[in-house]
Structure 1
Amino acid sequence: MTKVSGKHRRTLEQIFTRPVPNTIRWDDIEKLLIHLGAKMSEGRGSRVRVYLHGEVAVFHRPHPKPVTDKGAVASVKQFLENAGIRP
């Protein structure tokens, strides 16, 4: 697995925090996913398809605010766990 440090580590730890925070910026999640080796492709509207370690997920970028809602954070957490990623 890719070594995760600094801001990426903080983002990863926030994703796995309970209760689920509602303060994580989506662009920080995207940067973490890319750092971990994810490939991303644009879908329709605000959708983004993410491929990581054989796992595939589709997420919706939040708008108009840049902060990710709790449900989306929980989905990202599940995706990361399925891909073998934990803090």
Structure 2
Amino acid sequence: MNKMISELMIMETEKEQTEIKLREQIKSIRNTLDNLERKLDSNENFYEFDGLQGNGNNIDLYFTKIVTYDKAISRFKDYIEKSR
């Protein structure tokens, strides 16, 4: 039982770390979009590196991990409760 509780704590910590990464990614994309909009408004030239460059894929990755952690954590908690 102690091993399961330890595993649960690890999953909760990994979920929290993934949420931090997701927030950082969202902030980065928001900054990129703000910069693109500023360039549009001021008629500046665009460059290939001005785009999102795959950042949307990272958001999907982190989002999917969070959903998976939520499900696993819920199942672990249910199992631990039933085992008591």
Q: What TM-score do the two structures reach when normalised by structure 2?
A: 0.29
User: Which gives a bigger RCO, structure 1 or 2 (Cα 8 Å, sep 6+)?
Assistant: 2
Instruction: Flag the structure with larger Rg.
Output: 2
Q: What TM-score do the two structures reach when normalised by structure 1?
A: 0.28
Q: Greater share of helix residues, 1 or 2?
A: 2
